[in-house]
Amino acid sequence: MEMTFNEAGPKITGKCGKCGKCYKKCSFKAIEKGNPYRVRSNRCDDCGDCISVCPVGAIELSSPF
Ligand code: SF4
Ligand code: SF4
């Protein structure tokens, strides 16, 4: 049996300007506001929406697909 559970999710890097766009975009409420913003891996669905919406490219996939 193969466990492919990905608890990593994307990572928000130091480039984050705290604009809140990823927070609003995430349908799973997986992004937590703060300094820095962070992704709650247990809620994240790896949909990638936050990555596409970030204006400064601060969100990176932590694992290659
Ligand atoms: S969209 Fe990008 S810059 Fe804006 S809060 Fe999220 S990670 Fe930070
Ligand atoms: S990948 Fe999708 S579910 Fe995960 S934090 Fe980004 S928008 Fe939310």
Query: What CATH number did the domain enclosing 30 receive?
Result: 3.30.70.20
User: Whole-prediction pTM value?
Assistant: 0.84
Domain count, the chain: 1
DSSP 30: -
Q: Which atom of ligand 2 lies at the shortest distance from residue 59's CA?
A: 6
Question: Which of 33, 35, 56, 61 gets mutated to test ligand 1 (max ligand atoms within 8 A of its CB)?
Answer: 56
Query: Which of 43, 34, 55 has its CA nearest to residue 9?
Result: 43
Confidence of residue 18 (pLDDT cuts 50, 70, 90): very high
Mean pLDDT of 8-14: 88
Residue 31 lies in a domain: yes
Q: How confident is the model at residue 27 (pLDDT cuts 50, 70, 90)?
A: very high
Binding site membership of 10 for ligand 2 (Cβ less than 6 Å): yes
| Interval 1-16 mean pLDDT | 73
* Residue 64 domain flag: no
Whether the per-residue pLDDT at 51 is higher than 70: the answer is yes
Domain range for 42 is 10-55
